[in-house]
C-alpha cells in the first residue's frame, strides 16, 4: 500500500450527520467501512469481504438428522 500525504478536508452536515468528502487518492475499496475513535482521531477501515469458503469453514456442522425422503417418480403432465 502506498502512503499518501495528509489532506486538509472540510467537515459539513448531511442531515443530522457530520460528514467529509474523501479525496480520490484516499478512496477505500468496497461499499462499507468500519469507523472507530481513538482519542481525538477517527480511524476508517474498509470492510474486507470474507470468501464463502472461509465463512463456511467457521460454522460448526449440524448435529441434526434429516428425515428420509421418498423418491417418487415424477407425475406426467398432459399438455
d(CA 20, CA 23): 9
pLDDT above 70 for 65: yes
Q: Is residue 70 part of a domain?
A: no
Closest to 44 in 3D by CA, of 55, 59, 58, 29: 29
Domain extent for 36: 11-58
Contact yes or no for 9/21 (Cβ under 8 A): yes
pLDDT at 1 (0 to 100): 55
Judged by DSSP in three states, 55 sits in helix
When pLDDT is averaged across residues 29-33 and rounded to a whole number, the result is: 90
Domain count, the chain: 1
Q: Is residue 16 part of a domain?
A: yes
Tell me if 40 is assigned to some domain. yes
Q: Is residue 5 part of a domain?
A: no
**Is 6 contained in some domain?**
no
Residue 12, pLDDT above cutoff 90: yes
Domain presence at residue 74: no
Three cell numbers written together for 34:
468500519
Q: What's the rounded mean pLDDT across residues 29-39?
A: 93
Amino acid at each position: 500500500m502506498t502512503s499518501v500525504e495528509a489532506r486538509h478536508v472540510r467537515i459539513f452536515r448531511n442531515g443530522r450527520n457530520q460528514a467529509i468528502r474523501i479525496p480520490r487518492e484516499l478512496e477505500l475499496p468496497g461499499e462499507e467501512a468500519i469507523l472507530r475513535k481513538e482519542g481525538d482521531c477517527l480511524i476508517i477501515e474498509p470492510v474486507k469481504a470474507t470468501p464463502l469458503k472461509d465463512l463456511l469453514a467457521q460454522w460448526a456442522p449440524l448435529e441434526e438428522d434429516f428425515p428420509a425422503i421418498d423418491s417418487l417418480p415424477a407425475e406426467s403432465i398432459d399438455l
